[in-house]
Structure formats: C-alpha cells, structure tokens
Amino acid sequence: MIEMKPKIIVMDLDGTLLDRNKNVSMKTVSIIEECRKINIKIVLATARSKIASKRIASIIKPDFLILNDGALILNNIDEIIFKKLLTVKTSNGIINDLMCNRNNVKHIAVETENEYFNTFTEFYHQDWDYGIHYDLSKPLLQESFKISVEITEKTLPLIIEKNSMNVS
C-alpha cells in the first residue's frame, strides 16, 4: 500500500488555529514543528493583515502567508510573492458611497499597508493594536488591501430587489 504524505498544510487563524482568546496552543506549535521536520510546508491563510497576523506568524513561522483575503502573499513572512491593492481613487469612491448610505451600513473597515480604519469604535484586539483610526470622513491617502462592510438587516432585501431587476 502506498502511504500518502501531505506536502502542505494550510490553516486559517480565527476560528481554526487560534483558541477563543486568540492564542495558539503549545501542543499545536509542537505538532506544526513535527510536520516541518518531515518537510511539510506550513501556510497561514487569513483575512487578517500582515500587521494583525504578525504575532501568530512569529510563533508558527510559516513558509507562506496568505493575507488580506488573498490580496497579499508572502514567502518566509517578509518576501512579497503577490500583492494587489485597491487604488486610492477606487477606495475613496467606495468609502464615499458607503458613508453616503450610513443608514444601510452598520460598520466599515478599511485596511491599508500600515493603518486600519474602522467605524466600530468599540473594536479592540491586541493583534489590531496599530494605527487604528475611527474617522472615515477624510479621504484615504494610500491604497487599500480591502474594504469590509457590515450591512443592516433592511439592506439585504434592497440588494436582492435591485439585482433581480437587472437579471435578463
């Protein structure tokens, strides 16, 4: 019988690798080290940014990091393999449209290379303790990796209705 050995293990962080306190257990670290000894590549894939993943990446020491929902891919934590940003113009256009429709939007989050903008002021976690800004009324001055939006319950029927009218 042929024994199949994995060549790569890809892990998400939140809700997968990390416990409810956003920490990785020493048992998990030990298992990852055992995998590395038998030449299995370790990859972290997350919606988090490079800065928000830094603490966990320094513990796991992955071979590759897939960050910002795939907008940034790194080799050995720092070498950029792939990077795709939204232009300043596109980012500001999207943010402006969202801010003009604040009644339909609960929360907006924007991640740039070294800053995090968030309209949810109660937001805090140790991994996001960097350059947090809560004011999106001023234009961004740099490109962004992503813009995340949480819409209100009343918005979904409007989106469905608008999209169904565009179906031919």
- Check if the beta carbon of residue 49 is closer than 8 Å to that of residue 65: no
CB count within 10 Å of CB 116 equals 19
Q: Are residues 138 and 109 in the same domain?
A: yes
Residue 112 CB contacts under 8 Å (≥ 6 apart), including other chains: 140, 142, 143, 144, 145
Ranges 1-10, 30-39, 83-92: which has the least confidence: 1-10
- Compare 115 and 102 and report the one with higher pLDDT: 115
Mean pLDDT of 109-132: 72
Confidence tier at 158 by pLDDT (50, 70, 90): low
3-class DSSP state for residue 67?
Answer: strand
Q: Are residues 51 and 112 in the same domain?
A: no
pLDDT at 151: 80
Q: Which residue has the tokens 């897939």?
A: 66
* pLDDT surpasses 80 at 28: yes
Confidence tier at 130 by pLDDT (50, 70, 90): low
pLDDT at 10: 96
H helices then E strands: how many in the chain?
A: 4, 9
In a domain, 138, yes or no: yes
CATH number where 77 lies: 3.40.50.1000
> Which range has the top average pLDDT, 57-71, 103-117, 131-145?
57-71
- Signed CA dihedral, 67, 76, 63, 83: sign only: positive
Name the pTM for this structure: 0.79
Q: Are residues 17 and 67 in the same domain?
A: yes
Final residue of a domain: which of 83, 103, 133?
A: 83
In a domain, 116, yes or no: yes
Final residue of a domain: which of 46, 64, 83?
A: 83
Cα gap 106→104, rounded to integer Å = 7
- Check if the beta carbon of residue 102 is closer than 8 Å to that of residue 96: no
Number of structural domains the chain divides into:
2
Cα gap 87→68, rounded to integer Å = 15
Question: pLDDT tens-digit profile of 61-107?
Answer: 999 999 999 999 999 878 999 999 999 999 999 999 888 877 788 88
* pLDDT surpasses 80 at 132: no
In a domain, 3, yes or no: no
pLDDT at 160: 56
Q: Are residues 97 and 159 in the same domain?
A: yes
* Average pLDDT score, the chain: 85
Q: Tokens standing for 118? A: 């968030």
Mean pLDDT of 13-36: 92
In a domain, 2, yes or no: no
Range of the domain at 154: 88-165
Confidence tier at 168 by pLDDT (50, 70, 90): very low
Final residue of a domain: which of 83, 98, 131?
A: 83
Cα gap 62→36, rounded to integer Å = 9
Cα gap 136→146, rounded to integer Å = 14
